[in-house]
């Protein structure tokens, strides 16, 4: 099972994010899945593929060249923990900002709970503060510890 969980995680980041295969969302994200740490435009936690797709489309619009590299993947029970590096160029308005054409590189951790070859729950913790600092939206001098 460990191999299957790691394969699902690699497929998710490679096919959905790196290759831009939005149809793969339905293949891998269960209809009742919850994506903790991600929200729609109203602030609601994302549940199921139909709520995930607009979030995904907005982020891919902002960063059409996004590339996510999995640096570590660890399996425990029915969960796989992925530590990754996100690299992209801000070329669109999907995150509510006019394109800056600036590159970003930030880290993230995602814990995916799986069942039947699909993600049924995910806890997402990505360093969006660093991303916004790199885009010039947040002043790093005003951020303690940076």
- Answer whether 34's CB lies under 8 Å from 55's CB: no
Task: Indicate whether 80 pLDDT > 60.
Answer: yes
What's the confidence (pLDDT) of residue 25?
98
- What domains appear along the chain, each with residue ranges and CATH number? 2-137 (3.10.450.50)
- Answer whether 88's CB lies under 8 Å from 103's CB: yes
Distance CA 103, CA 42 (A): 27
What's the pLDDT band for 70 if we cut at 50, 70, 90?
A: very high
- From 130, 122, 135, select the one nearest 33 (Cα to Cα): 122
Q: What value does the mean pLDDT take over residues 53-63?
A: 96
- Compute the half-sphere exposure of residue 43: CA atoms within 13 Å on the CB side of its CA: 0
Task: Indicate whether 3 pLDDT > 90.
Answer: no
Quote the pTM value: 0.90
Task: Indicate whether 139 pLDDT > 90.
Answer: no
Distance CA 97, CA 79 (A): 34
* 83-126 tens-digit pLDDT: 999 999 999 998 989 999 999 999 999 999 999 999 999 999 99
């Amino acid at each position: 099972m460990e191999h299957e969980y790691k394969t699902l995680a690699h497929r998710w980041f490679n096919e959905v994010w790196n290759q831009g295969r939005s149809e793969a969302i339905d293949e891998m994200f269960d209809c009742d899945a919850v994506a903790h740490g991600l929200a729609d435009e109203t602030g609601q936690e994302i549940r199921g593929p139909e709520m995930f797709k607009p979030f995904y489309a907005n982020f891919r619009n902002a960063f059409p060249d996004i590339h996510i590299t999995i640096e570590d993947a660890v399996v425990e029970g029915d969960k796989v923990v992925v530590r990754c590096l996100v690299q992209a160029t801000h070329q669109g308005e999907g995150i509510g900002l006019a394109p800056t054409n600036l590159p970003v590189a930030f880290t993230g951790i995602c814990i995916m709970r799986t069942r039947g070859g699909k993600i049924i729950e995910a806890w997402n913790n990505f360093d969006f503060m660093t991303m916004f600092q790199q885009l010039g939206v947040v002043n790093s001098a005003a951020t303690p510890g940076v």
